[in-house]
């Protein structure tokens, strides 16, 4: 047999082996199964089309559909709860070009979505972690609570990078504290940005970066493979306004310039562009353009007051994964003119 024929035979065997390989357990495989069931039974896609859309083999699609039936997730249609969440996720993905959306269920429309979103975020991160990752992290209540749902196991050669300077008068929401706790959970190396989150001028910022040894952390921040961010809103009780860095006059002037929210104290408009305001020049944080180049960009947030902030953030960093709750998901779709499923 010629070498060419031998290679083809080996490739075919490898393909069959991959097709018949077991699907990994966990929430990611559950979501893959539900997506396959939705595409087949609701959208009436062919098995080959589903395989192409999900990046898996057709034999795997057949197995997923069979598993969905055996688990009673499919009768004539998907169960109501499963169907609604899956439809919201896929609608968000299509509306914004997101690789994967995760929508957490709520007990009621008025329920605080922070904990459910944090739980979904922790589970998502746990399944994403692998050796050698460099993860840049933001801060906020949602991310802090997500720590309770991240598997505390040691993974070799992981680095956690705080993307924002610290806050002098803070308790549990200090950006550097979150990065430190996350790194301790994973027994990972931690890079902190040893500077205030906001300085008094652009000149001070340049001096700190160029003369005080902070250029190294900015270089690390430009080579991240994953970033994890939460969105800040513009209401007076938003996290950004609790620590004295911004006055009410600052908040109102930012809104006047079109600000709808902040990421790492960078304020932006609904179009996803930074607003023209002195604050954005004084932030001690990794530049947005560096964050937008990371291969994995995870955005997690929710709440009725953050709809515009989330839309702007999605347009700015173009997340590969977006995690929210079902009420916020519906509100976002309505705001951009997409009928909610």
Place of tokens 């196991």: 153
Place of tokens 């997340």: 319
End-to-end Cα distance, the chain: 56
Quick one: pLDDT band at residue 12, thresholds 50, 70, 90?
A: very low
Inform me whether the pLDDT recorded for 144 exceeds 70. yes
The domain ranges of the chain are: 3-78, 87-335
- What does the block give as tokens for 167? 């806050």
pLDDT greater at residue 165 or residue 337: 337
Residue among 162, 141, 313, 147 at smallest CA distance from 238 = 141
For residue 155, the 8-state DSSP code is: -
Q: How far apart are CA 322 and CA 100, in angstroms?
A: 7
The predicted pLDDT at position 237 comes to 84
3 state DSSP class of 179: helix
Q: How many secondary structure helices (H) and strands (E) does the chain include?
A: 14, 9
Contacts for 210-214: CB closer than 8 Å, 24+ residues apart: 214/284
Q: How far apart are CA 200 and CA 279, in angstroms?
A: 9
Alpha helices in 71-131 (DSSP H): 80-96, 114-128
The predicted pLDDT at position 206 comes to 87
The predicted pLDDT at position 290 comes to 87
Inform me whether the pLDDT recorded for 335 exceeds 80. yes
Range in 19-23, 93-97, 147-151, 191-195 the model is least confident about? 19-23
- What CATH number has the domain spanning 3-78? 1.10.10.60
Average pLDDT over residues 77-92: 75
Please, what is the Cα angle at 99 between 95 and 105, to 5 degrees? 75
The predicted pLDDT at position 212 comes to 79
Q: How far is CA 75 from the centre of its chain?
A: 32
CATH architecture of 87-335: 3-Layer(aba) Sandwich (3.40)
Average pLDDT over residues 152-158: 85
Q: How far apart are CA 335 and CA 183, in angstroms?
A: 37
Range in 1-5, 58-62, 217-221, 326-330 the model is least confident about? 1-5
The predicted pLDDT at position 322 comes to 98
299 forms bridges with which residues in the sheet?
229, 322
3 state DSSP class of 104: strand
């Amino acid at each position: 047999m010629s070498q060419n024929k031998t290679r083809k035979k080996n490739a075919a065997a490898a393909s069959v082996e991959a097709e018949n390989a077991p699907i990994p357990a966990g929430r990611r495989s559950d979501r893959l199964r539900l997506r396959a069931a939705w595409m087949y039974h609701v959208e009436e896609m062919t098995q080959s089309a589903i395989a192409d859309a999900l990046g898996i083999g057709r034999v795997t699609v057949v197995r997923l559909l069979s598993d969905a039936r055996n688990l009673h997730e499919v009768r004539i249609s998907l169960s109501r709860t499963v169907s609604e969440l899956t439809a919201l996720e896929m609608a968000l993905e299509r509306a914004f070009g997101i690789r994967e959306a995760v929508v957490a269920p709520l007990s009621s429309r008025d329920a605080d979505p922070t904990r459910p979103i944090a739980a979904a975020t922790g589970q998502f991160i746990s399944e994403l972690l692998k050796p050698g990752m460099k993860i840049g992290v933001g801060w906020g209540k949602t991310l802090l609570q997500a720590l309770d749902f991240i598997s505390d196991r040691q993974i070799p050669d992981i680095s956690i990078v705080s993307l924002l300077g610290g806050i002098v008068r803070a308790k549990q929401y200090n950006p550097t504290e979150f990065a430190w706790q996350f790194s301790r959970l994973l027994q990972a190396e931690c890079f902190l940005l040893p500077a205030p989150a906001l300085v008094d001028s652009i000149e001070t910022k340049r001096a700190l970066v160029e003369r005080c040894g902070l250029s190294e952390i900015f270089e690390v921040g430009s080579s991240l493979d994953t970033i994890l961010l939460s969105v800040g809103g513009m209401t007076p009780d938003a996290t950004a306004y609790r620590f004295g860095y911004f006055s009410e006059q600052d908040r109102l002037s930012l809104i006047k310039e079109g600000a709808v929210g902040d990421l790492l104290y960078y304020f932006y408009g609904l179009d996803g562009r930074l607003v023209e305001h002195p604050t954005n020049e004084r932030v001690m944080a990794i530049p947005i353009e560096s964050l937008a180049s990371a291969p994995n960009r995870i955005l997690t947030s929710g709440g009725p007051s953050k709809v515009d902030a989330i839309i702007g953030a999605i347009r700015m960093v173009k997340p590969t994964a977006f995690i929210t709750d079902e009420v916020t998901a519906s509100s976002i779709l309505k705001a951009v003119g997409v009928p909610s499923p």
